[in-house]
Structure 1
């Protein structure tokens, strides 16, 4: 059997596990009941058949002992004993053995059929019981009684009974075969076994029908829950009946209705918040352009200003730049949230791209680059630059020198041969990131001010870097160095992001829909529609954009 067939069988068993359990429980209950009933019926019939047979044989034997054996002389001959035994056994279906004395202490035996029944066939304990004289009392009026037991000879069942004549006379034993009764009981046992098997099959069929009746609403409920989990909040169940399953369906419908209403309210509020941020960002761009122009003039004239005024001018210039960066970051965030962010793909040499990012921001003296030339990747150069600027700038500002950037390729099994994944690691040599901060370093507006020096960033840089990685179908992870010397940010990107076009055409990004539902189209015509940020030159000031505290 192939592995696929085995997996299909196991999957089927898992899917019907509740059905299997119901069938097994029904079958066990039916089997227990049938076996118990059959056992009781067999036992009762067995006792009835054996009791009837032994009573008939013993009653006939007792009557013959009273009528025939008691009529023998006190000292009978062997011929008389055998003749009487044959008369007693004739037509009764059993054999008789009579024991008398021809003289004191000289017993003689007369058998109806010496080939079938001899004194050796009588168990010693039965002979002892028959020969033992009982004391007379108010509860015992006779010194001798009739005793019997069931025994086997050569694997066949027999009834053996015995008694003696009171007041003197022969001792008699009866020997009756129970083979016919055993065959009748075996036939009864087979009949009861077949009945038990039929009951088991019937219970399995009933269990299957009951399981179908119970599991069909459960299956519908599972399908509805799956659709609800996929975002189809208008999913409802058809309710019929008044049982517990119907009540469960009503509860599900109420829950789905409440969830749909809450999600609609949350979506409306979220959309309103997005519009507010987008509108605010666009409205701030016009005054920010004027402020930026004024601050540039003030900065150019800084050397001619009064020394008392110069610090204030420098503060205004610095804070105006920070405000401008914040507005640009907010606009970028709104693009991601609205799902309008697009990839503009190009074939780039990764090492050259990293070098250009570092050189444009005058970080060459502070950053060590370990990247082999000629590693080509099809990515969005501008978005890769944004990611690198934020990661390297974050390491320089909040980590410790030197900052090392390494680039290498990874294959499907972690081998460089046939590599399809790009790995860029940015490592600093600072104090590292506290464990409680690590899960939040990519959150928007998060600043670990308690563990880092005061940040001049907006708290959006690492978040924007993560979004740009996601739109490529990649990811960024943050961790501390195993030796405790600094933090490591690892950027993983597919070597060819153009494979995301098919997913983008289907309305999903590489993340299967993503957190924000971003598309990943590769149209170059989108470059002009990105706004002012998309067309900006990567000068030295861009490296400070959106740099988070780790």
Structure 2
């Protein structure tokens, strides 16, 4: 299967849609769950630490004297750091002489430089008292990160005088918990995606199996197997589609059977009518031949008054005979009973014989080298040539030119016979219909000397040889009919079957 077909596969699109929907839902759910849990974990840890720190500031820092020493600050900071929240404490105050003293529970972990300047400014800023603000100083906090480790830093001043305190608590345990949660949610998302893909594959198989059966049935129906039906199970839309297909196939089978029956009846009628006409036509032809001999006789036994009528009867009888023969030939083509009788012929000699038999030597120019041999049915080639040359003389005018050449392309060894005239050419609206049966170029002239079957029979004879016959207009004017035939018809498998050892076909 090519890359383009894979990406246009309905199965792949269904799996991708399911996977995208599942991925979107899983990522959204995981993101929301992570964000909610993160806020809950951090808020819980933060509130607990801030509450403990504020309580320690009120209880322990509030018990310090107004001008504590550094030792008193360090002892108090150390006591405050023993809280259940395990934070570091930094206390800042002024001693008895007015110098700034600092007490730190852990000098290696927490110093004043670790406190953001903005937080220090907020802690030291005295707030204006109002009905809604009863305290001049408040507790402020901020989350910071150091070496990818999150910390909570907070600070406040004692009301009524006393040290300023800062607290630093590591949020690394909470961060690890959140990382574990993120990994768990990621794994859950991946599993959900895999599950969605498997479910999509199963759903696609369930949905596409009837579609594939429908496609296979449609192909069989297109190949002519009109008895093709689908097994219907269930009551869903696919089952309804299968029922509709079966109904359409049954209706098509019935219609084709009716048309085949009518077509067979029509062919049988034409064949029977042609056979029935041959017997009386044979008798009529014999009589007209006698009348024609009387017309040509020097005795003048035919009354001059009825001579035109006699000549009309003779010509129309011949025309009727040609029409009956053509109808019988057409029915043989339609019934598939037309057969080839193959022989090796020299094309130049064959065309010359066709022209000479119809006294067209003065009106036809032949451009064909002797020695171009072909194995085909001479009688059917003669029918093709007679129709093409006669049609060119009737509608195009002489001289009619016949050119013969060989053509070896793509491993095919063919002969080309071109019949061209010097007439006005074939009208463009007529060109697509020149090989149609009984087609008349002018509706105002429904009756003509021909039967309207000549070119159609010529085309069928070309096809039975495995060849082709085409019509076109030459750039310099005039119509050109091109006959392409394989040089050895016995090497082709045409519609007439395989030639037998005697030169016929079974």
Whether the TM-score (by the shorter chain) exceeds 0.5 is yes
Match for residue 55 of structure 1 among 39, 47, 51 = 47
Q: Is the contact between residue 74 and residue 103 of structure 2 (CA under 8 Å) also seen in structure 1?
A: yes
Does 1:392 find its partner at 2:369?
no
Deviation string 1:433-452 (CA, Å, 9 cap, x unpaired) is 23332222221111212699
Deviation string 1:347-394 (CA, Å, 9 cap, x unpaired) is 223333333323332333333333333332222222122222222222
Q: Is the contact between residue 342 and residue 521 of structure 1 (CA under 8 Å) also seen in structure 2?
A: no
Cα distance in 1 between the residues matched to 2:68 and 2:473: 116
Aligned residue runs from structure 1 range 132-531, under 5 A? 132-303=125-296, 304=300, 305-413=302-410, 419-449=412-442, 455-481=448-474, 483=475, 485-500=477-492, 503=493, 510=494, 518-523=495-500
3-state SS, counterpart of residue 148 of structure 1:
strand
Instruction: Indicate the residue corresponding to 1:78 in structure 2.
Output: 70
Q: CA deviation at 1:210?
A: 1.4
Give the TM-score normalised by the residue count of structure 1.
Answer: 0.84
Q: Is the contact between residue 157 and residue 179 of structure 1 (CA under 8 Å) also seen in structure 2?
A: yes
Q: Which moved more, 1:255-264 or 1:280-289?
A: 255-264
CA RMSD of aligned residues (A): 2.7
3-state SS, counterpart of residue 224 of structure 2:
coil
Aligned length: 501
3-state SS, counterpart of residue 365 of structure 1:
helix
Q: Is the contact between residue 126 and residue 162 of structure 1 (CA under 8 Å) also seen in structure 2?
A: yes
Aligned residue runs from structure 1 range 58-137, under 5 A? 58-90=50-82, 92-102=85-95, 107-137=100-130
Instruction: Indicate the residue corresponding to 2:38 in structure 1.
Output: 46
Instruction: Indicate the residue corresponding to 2:26 in structure 1.
Output: 34
Q: Which moved more, 1:97-106 or 1:122-131?
A: 97-106
Q: Is the contact between residue 339 and residue 519 of structure 1 (CA under 8 Å) also seen in structure 2?
A: yes
Cα distance in 2 between the residues matched to 1:281 and 1:419: 39
Unaligned 5+ runs, structure 2: none
Cα distance in 2 between the residues matched to 1:400 and 1:117: 117
Higher relative contact order (CA 8 A, sep 6+): 1
Q: CA deviation at 1:329?
A: 0.5
1:404 and 1:143, CA in 2 relative to 1: closer, same or farther beyond 3 A? farther
3-state SS, counterpart of residue 94 of structure 2:
strand
1:412 and 1:163, CA in 2 relative to 1: closer, same or farther beyond 3 A? farther
3-state SS, counterpart of residue 384 of structure 1:
helix
Deviation string 1:398-456 (CA, Å, 9 cap, x unpaired) is 2344433333333344xxxx552333332333333233322222211112126999742
Rg bigger for which structure? 2
3-state SS, counterpart of residue 448 of structure 1:
coil
Cα distance in 1 between the residues matched to 2:385 and 2:100: 122
3-state SS, counterpart of residue 301 of structure 1:
helix
Cα distance in 2 between the residues matched to 1:365 and 1:82: 137
3-state SS, counterpart of residue 159 of structure 1:
strand
Q: Is the contact between residue 412 and residue 486 of structure 2 (CA under 8 Å) also seen in structure 1?
A: no
Cα distance in 2 between the residues matched to 1:53 and 1:438: 93
